[in-house]
């Protein structure tokens, strides 16, 4: 009964019609706390000035988590403390794959973190097989009857992860939650969701895994950091996964608030392709006149001649049509498409690239992570633009050489000036490769 409220925090209006309001287990707390000039939203912990959020009918509302249904100070948040009411399971893991030695070391770290209920960071390079390293620890936890969630800031990542977890844990009840989801909420032992959805949970999970912590919009977002803390049980375990930890996470590691294990080699044992920078002076002016920098033009024609497939990243969506037109000018026969975040055919276009129907994609940061094409080079025009964070630049470089058969793709960034973010990205890859070279698994190309 009232399963939809186990470990959740909802207002009365958000409850399903089957809800039984007389349940003695229900705990209610005010949706907003009021003090002096300020009110604080209890769901997203945003501190708000009263004058800005007052409603004419009385009370206050929170504009910051409005997308999840408006909360006002007149409402209460209802919750039923998580009872872990799951049927016991014996065979949790239905995954038959195997791990490399390095992966196994990390998987054991993960397993012990889950048992000891600690906070941990798993830093594994792009293409190291992070998801598989979770299976062992998660299977263990599910057997214990723990409630488990995997959250990511990106919807695409969630949608991609869900079927993989479903295959690995066929006997476990599982639900996928995100903003575009039409399916209603179900109480399940295993939840895959976006980090925004965590705002609807209250002390629910024994184990919470946050994938791609460095990705927008999670990085530097206090609201979502709070959502993670509030969704975990006070004695729960939290595991952050990333290929590019930001300074805040690394600080937490040095302050020993977080333990860390890292995997500096890809599953095929090769190093990450290192970033090469080339000058592209006044490329924006050139683009305005309908041309690309000559060096980039040469690089593209050479790859087309050799039938080497590649991705070309540009900083802004608005530049895509201009770049496409410029390419058509010097390579009229090239088959390519442009992809951006609001593109209705995004999924189809990426699939066309994967099936080798097109030679290359021109895209923005939207394809920086989560996509794998076997044998490609990566070109970035204007890598010194402010839209590219250090994490984004490392992730983009990580698209190359993901295949065991072709582990050394080229990564070339065209820039007008060097920036701190770019230098940090180059440094990060060098550091990881340095660590990788010390391992016995390192394979020379």
Partner 1 sequence: MASCLMCQKRLPRTLTIREILSWRKVTADTICETCKAAFTVINESKACPQCGRNQANQEICQDCQRWHLMPNTLKIKNRGLFQYTPTMHDYMHQYKFNGDLRLAKVFQHAVQLAVDAAQVDVVIPVPVSDTTFDHRGFNQSAELLQLIVENRHHPVVCPALKVVTRDKQQQSKQGRKDRMTRTQPFVIDPNYVEKLRGNKILIFDDVYTTGRTLHFAAQALQTVEATSLIGLTLAR
Binding site for partner 1 (CB under 8 A): 53, 55-59, 61, 63, 66, 69-70, 72
Query: E strands of 319-391, at which residues?
Result: 336-339, 360-363, 376-381
In the complex, the smallest distance separating the C-beta of residue 32 from partner 1, rounded to whole angstroms, is: 13
Nearest-CA neighbor of 10 among 65, 84, 89, 92?
A: 65
User: 34-56 burial string, b = 16+ CB within 10 Å, else e?
Assistant: eeeeebbbbbbbbebeeeebeee
Least separation in angstroms between residue 137's CB and partner 1 is 36
Q: 427: closest CA among 268, 244, 258, 248?
A: 244
Interatomic CA distance for residues 310 and 299, integer angstroms: 11
Q: How long is the chain? A: 445
Contacts of residue 11, Cβ cutoff 8 Å, sequence gap at least 6: 31, 69, 71, 75, 76, 77, 78
Cβ proximity to partner 1, 216 vs 442, nearer residue = 216
239 with 210: CB under 8 angstroms?
yes
Nearer to partner 1 by Cβ, of 54 and 225: the residue is: 54
Identify which of residues 2 and 14 has a Cβ nearer to partner 1 in the complex.
14
Query: Concatenated DSSP letters for 130-150?
Result: HHHHHHHHHHHHHHHT--EEE
Minimum CB separation from partner 1 for residue 55, in Å?
3
Pairing of strands 47-49, 309-313: unpaired
Nearest approach in angstroms of CB 68 to partner 1 is 10
Minimal distance, residue 217 CB to partner 1, in Å: 10
Q: Which is nearer to partner 1, 70 or 286 (CB)?
A: 70
CA distance 405 to 69: 49
Distance of closest approach, residue 219 Cβ to partner 1, in angstroms: 16
d(CA 389, CA 269): 27
Nearer to partner 1, 1 or 387 (CB): 387
Q: Looking at beta carbons only, is 66 or 439 nearer to partner 1?
A: 66
Least Å distance, CB 59 to partner 1, is 7
The nearest distance, CB 322 to partner 1, in angstroms, is 17
> Which residue, 57 or 420, has its beta carbon nearer to partner 1?
57
Return the number of the residue (69 or 279) whose C-beta is nearest partner 1: 69
The least CB distance from residue 52 to partner 1, in Å, is: 8
Q: Token pair for residue 334? A: 């090239």
Copy the structure tokens of residue 26.
């229900």
What is the Cα–Cα distance from 328 to 133, expressed in whole angstroms? 44
Q: Which is nearer to partner 1, 69 or 83 (CB)?
A: 69
Does residue 190 come out as left (phi exceeding 0), alpha (psi in the -120 to 50 range) or beta?
Answer: beta
Closer to partner 1 at the Cβ: 39 or 161?
39
Least distance from partner 1 to the Cβ atom of residue 70, Å: 4
- Write the CA distances from 10 to 5, 83, 108, 201, 223, integer angstroms: 7, 17, 37, 8, 17
């Amino acid at each position: 009964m009232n399963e939809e409220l186990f470990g959740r925090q909802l207002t009365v209006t958000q409850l399903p019609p089957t809800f039984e309001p007389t349940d003695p287990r229900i705990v209610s707390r005010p949706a907003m706390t009021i003090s002096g000039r300020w009110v604080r939203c209890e769901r997203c912990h945003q501190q708000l000035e009263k004058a800005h959020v007052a409603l004419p009918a009385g009370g206050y509302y929170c504009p910051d988590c409005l997308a999840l249904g408006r909360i006002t100070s007149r409402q209460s948040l209802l919750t039923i403390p998580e009872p872990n009411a799951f049927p016991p399971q014996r065979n949790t893991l239905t995954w038959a794959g195997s791990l490399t030695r390095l992966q196994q070391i990390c998987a054991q770290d993960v397993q012990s973190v889950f048992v000891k209920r600690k906070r941990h960071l798993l830093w594994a390079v792009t293409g190291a097989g992070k998801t598989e390293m979770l299976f062992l620890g998660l299977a263990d936890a599910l057997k214990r009857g723990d409630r488990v969630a995997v959250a990511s800031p990106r919807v695409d990542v969630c949608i991609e992860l869900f079927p993989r977890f479903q295959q690995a844990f066929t006997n476990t009840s599982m639900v996928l939650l995100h903003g575009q989801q039409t399916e209603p909420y179900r109480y399940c032992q295993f939840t895959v969701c976006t980090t925004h959805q965590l705002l609807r949970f209250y002390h629910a999970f024994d184990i919470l895994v946050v994938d791609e912590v460095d990705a927008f919009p999670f990085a530097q977002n206090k609201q979502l950091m709070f959502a993670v803390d509030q969704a975990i049980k006070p004695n729960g375990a939290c595991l952050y996964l990333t290929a590019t930890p930001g300074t805040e996470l690394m600080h937490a590691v040095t302050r020993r608030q977080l333990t860390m294990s890292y995997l500096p080699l890809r599953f095929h044992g090769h190093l990450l392709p290192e970033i090469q920078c080339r000058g592209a002076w006044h490329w924006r002016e050139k683009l305005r006149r309908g041309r690309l920098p000559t060096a980039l033009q040469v690089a593209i024609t050479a790859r087309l001649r050799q039938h080497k497939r590649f991705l070309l990243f540009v900083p802004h969506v608005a530049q895509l049509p201009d770049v496409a037109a410029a390419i058509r000018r010097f390579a009229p026969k090239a088959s390519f498409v442009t992809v951006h975040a609001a593109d209705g055919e995004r999924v189809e276009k990426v699939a066309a690239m994967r099936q080798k129907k097109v030679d290359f994609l021109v895209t923005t940061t939207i394809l920086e992570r989560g996509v794998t094409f076997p044998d490609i080079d990566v070109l970035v025009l204007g890598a010194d633009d402010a839209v590219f964070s250090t994490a984004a630049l490392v992730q983009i470089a990580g698209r190359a050489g993901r295949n065991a058969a072709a582990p050394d793709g080229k990564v070339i960034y065209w820039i007008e000036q060097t920036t701190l973010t770019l230098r940090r990205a180059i440094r990060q890859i060098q550091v990881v490769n340095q660590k990788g070279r010390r391992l016995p698994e390192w394979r020379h190309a």
